[in-house]
Structure 1
Amino acid sequence: MTGPVRPSLKTQVTTATRTFFISGFGTALEFYDFIIYGLAAALVFPTLFFPSFDPTVGTLVAFAAFGSGFIARPLGGIVIGHFGDRIGRKAMLVLTLLIMGTSTFLIGCLPDYRTVGVAAPVMLVVLRLIQGFAAGGEWGGASLFGIENAPENRRGLWGSFTSAGIGIGSLFGTGVFTLITLLPQEQLQDWAWRVPFWLGGLLVLAGVVARSRMPREERRTEHAPRVPILESIKRHPRQMLLAIGVAFGYNTLAYIGTIFTVTYAEELGYSHTESLLLQVAGSVAFTLAVPVMALLSDRIGRKPVVIVGTLVYGAFFFAYFPMVDGHILALATVAYVLVNVLMAAPQGCIPAFLGEQFASATRYSSISATYQTGAALGGGTAATTATALFIAFDGNPIGVGLYSGAAALILALCAWGLRETFRVPTAELGTRPPANGDAGAGVDKTTVA
């Protein structure tokens, strides 16, 4: 009697590469759009859309507009996740890219405050809301495509393709903005800031083509409840709340580490180009570290990597600010690299860790709703809160450090409360464990698709 035929190494690599392109590359394009908005909010939007404010306060208002996009993310996660569970992942992943690409392109076409007055920031916020709605359904679906197609012992690694895509998108967006800051300030303010948005809108088309070629899925309506999110709340209330806490903590830390740090470098006198080059170095480090951390979680578990990495990350901010304060570019670069390597510890594991908490029939709705709610509460307010604390402490970053430490503690405690899932068979994910907490037993037939 022969055992099951295992796919060859070449086949596994081909499948992994294809999965990465569909989940990771698509998410890279989405987060390219987000990072260029965040950088524009730090560098040019205060002057173009909020010129009546003091420069620092204008930056605070620009970040508030940036945060408005997060308001729509939970709604996007619930709506798009619902149809992702009911009719399949493919259609929703194509839809999110189309919406995101169109809104990004249109931001690049907006008139500024001098041209149309208050209508300019209003239109900017409306397009941010549309972006947020699309992003709300993107991350969960892309993560699940990797997890649900992965070998049993590589769900962490394949789920991290989405996280690596975030790094690639951040790297590309930061790189593009670095190039345009080489132009004279007048040209940057006049027209050059629009180019990254136009480019992002066009690049999304490549992701749409890739996702349109995804394999056809079986209809999921036979397994999915009528309202998947309500079923998940009923079956997994504890996991839902803890997952929101994980997402809140991580997104707070991530947006301090990627968006506020640009403003901080600018306040210290780093040039636009220098601060963006620091971001490029950090993005490269993050992209390389993500799969390493995810693979480590496949070997020793999700919780050790997430918890230890998060606590070290939160503590490191107290060293990060003094390293950047010296205005020694080499030392600042080391600080940016280290903060991004540490950020990769939770992010590399979170897609699989959260996705593995829920059953297949409700997984898209569950992971999208919880992650995006946490992202809205944490990431949507992080840059604004950090900037406000920076102002309140009269330019001393200690308030931001304490804020980061609190977010890290919330993330670590919520991760501790979730099930360790790295050894649970895929078919048993989202089941209720028996009373003794054995993570690999206790299949709940009503929740497993």
Structure 2
Amino acid sequence: MRRAVIGSVVGNALEWYDFFLFSAAAALVFNQLFFPTGDRTAASLAALSIYAVGFVARPVGGLVFGHVGDRYGRKAALIWTLSIMGVATFAMGLLPTYEQIGWWAPALLVVLRLVQGLAAGGEWGGGVLLITENAPAHRRGFFGAWSQAGVSLGFVISSLAFFLVRQLPDADFYAWGWRLPFLASIVIFAAGIFIRKRVMETAPLKEGKDPAALPVVALLRRYPRALMLGIGARLGENGGSQLLITFSLVYGTSVGASTDVLLIGVMLGMICDSAMMPVFGALSDRLGRRPVYMAGLLAMAAFAYPFLHMLGSGSTPLIILAFVIGNGLCHAAMIGVQPAMYSELFEPEVRYSGLAFVHEVAAVIVGVVPLISAALLARYGSPVPVAIYIGVLCLLSLLSVWALKETRPTRAQVH
């Protein structure tokens, strides 16, 4: 169990470091270096559009690597996803800018973001299953949450990397400094492969369970209701995460907040997120998955407007507090429960495909949250429509979770 937790947390942190680098770069760098100068709003919308492209590719990656994971093992799929992600991220650090090659610069960025999306689509489900399929049933919520903590730590590391290079003089940062976090992914790739090769295969695969010939076909035939409700349940969680992580940088800079303060806020918020995930996961082992998850959705809907208002306050303590509350309480209550809840929806022979399908289709739907939020802000000049938009996503998720059956094993099933 210890090896499974360490392998999942560290592997996820390294993989998602690569994927999350793009969110900071889209808000702070790509909008200035990869598009024509002159209209900053249009350039920001274009950069966020490329950010969203990564989410479009994720369902394809989920299907491909879900098939590999269900047919040939979780480890094989995870080594492939990490390898592909590492190459794409390293290549981003070598890209010429718009000034150097014109429109080829954003075109190449789109291609590499698509490749990142393919890899990310197969990562989440495998990282979760490394833990949940080895965890004791009565503590699956607690242990499963650690896989998600690795994802958050990946964002913390990527934010820290950008914060450090942001301390360079502006001329150096925009000339070459922004490339360093991307080029560092080659070291991260090597470390991640070393770790993942030493992780044990998960229990159902070791027990010789017969895999489905075409896992996705079996999945669609046997679990249509669980798939639809699972996708719905994730809209509020992931939409809220897009607000707290990516759009917050765009909105914060537009209202005059310091970039350094925003990056520190994001880092501290995600650290709190990681710390609280196992707490809410353990709580779901006692109270059930549904009530804890629904409480997080209600909290996210209620906090969306206060969060944006605090970002615009100009107060450093209030800005940091906004990130800590949003991530450490509202978001953690959902994401800490999600690994166990989704793992318990599907049987082992289609579980990787099931988790990937639910997670990544929802990611496509809400991957445009930063783009739509930026457009709403540009159209109305107020954060209120953005908060309403997040509230609607949370309401849809609330209805979906309410319609799902409780997945936590009963005391009789545990024994």
TM norm structure 1: 0.88
Conserved in 2, the CA contact under 8 Å of 1:316 and 1:339? yes
Deviates more, 1:65-74 or 1:319-328: 319-328
| CA deviation after TM superposition for structure 1 residue 219, in Å | 7.2
Q: For 1:252, what is the secondary structure of its paired residue?
A: helix
Provide the aligned C-alpha RMSD in A: 1.7
Corresponding residue SS for 2:368: helix
**Which of 376, 380, 385 is equivalent to 2:372?**
385
Q: What amino acid maps onto 2:252 in structure 1?
A: A
Per the TM alignment, residue 412 of structure 1 is displaced from its structure 2 partner at its CA by 1.4
The 2-side partners of 1:36 and 1:145 are apart by 24
Q: Which residue of 2 aligns with 1:58?
A: 43
Pairing of 1:160-171 with structure 2 (within 5 A): 160-171=145-156
| 2:325 match | 338
Q: Which amino acid aligns with 1:364?
A: Y
Q: Distance in 2 between matches of 1:146 and 1:216?
A: 10
**Following the alignment from structure 2 to structure 1, what is the Cα–Cα distance between the partners of residues 134 and 311?**
42
- Residue of structure 2 equivalent to 1:409: 395
State the structure with more CA Rg. 1
What's the CA shift for 1:35? 1.9
Aligned residues: 411
| Structure with greater helix share of residues | 2
Distance 1:290 1:323 in 2: 24
Distance of 2:171 and 2:63 partners within structure 1: 43
* SS state at 2:406 partner: coil
Say if 1:330 and 1:178 are closer, same or farther in 2 by CA, change over 3 A: same
Deviation at 1:75, TM superposition (A): 0.6
2:176 aligns to what?
Answer: 191
Residues 239-388 of structure 1 mapped to structure 2, 5 A cutoff: 239-341=226-328, 342-378=330-366, 380-388=367-375
Distance in 2, Cα, partners of 1:29 & 1:247: 23
Structure 1 residue 131: deviation in Å?
0.5
Contact 1:296 1:305 in 2 (8 A): yes
Query: SS state of the match for residue 257, structure 2?
Result: coil
Greater CA deviation, 92-101 or 413-422?
413-422
Post-superposition Cα deviations, 1:24-59, rounded to whole Å, max 9, x if no partner, equal: 111111221122110010001111101245112211
Question: What do the CA deviations read for 1:98-118 (whole angstroms, capped 9, x no partner)?
Answer: 111111111011111111111
* Deviation, structure 1 residue 222: 5.7
Q: Which residue of 1 aligns with 2:68?
A: 83
- The amino acid of 1:268's aligned partner reads V
Distance in 1 between residues matched to 2:385 and 2:31, nearest whole Å: 23
Secondary structure of 1:419's partner? coil
SS in 2 for 1:166: helix
- The answer to whether the Cα contact below 8 Å between 1:86 and 1:220 also exists between their aligned partners in 2 is no
Task: Verify the 8 A CA contact 2:4 2:199 in the aligned structure 1.
Answer: no
Secondary structure of the structure 1 residue equivalent to 2:337: helix
Residues 1:220 and 1:102: Cα distance change in structure 2 (over 3 Å):
farther
Change (3 A) 1:41 1:209: same
- Counterpart in the other structure of 1:177: 162
State the shift of 1:424 in Å.
4.8
Gap change, CA 1:325 and 1:52, over 3 Å in 2: closer
Deviates more, 1:265-274 or 1:298-307: 265-274
- Aligned partner of 1:445 in structure 2 is none
- Tell me what 1:228 maps to: 215
1:304 partner amino acid:
P
In structure 2, which of residues 114, 117, 120 is the aligned counterpart of residue 135 of structure 1? 120
Report the Cα distance in structure 1 between the residues aligned to 2:88 and 2:208, rounded to whole angstroms: 31
Matches of 1:158 and 1:46 in 2, distance apart? 39
**2:137 matches 1:149:** no
Return the TM-score normalized by structure 2: 0.96
8 Å Cα contact 2:19-2:120 kept in structure 1: no
Verify: 1:36 aligned to 2:24, yes or no.
no
Query: Any stretches of 5+ residues in structure 1 without a counterpart?
Result: 1-14, 429-439, 441-449
The answer on whether the counterparts of 1:35 and 1:169 sit within 8 Å (CA) in structure 2 is: yes
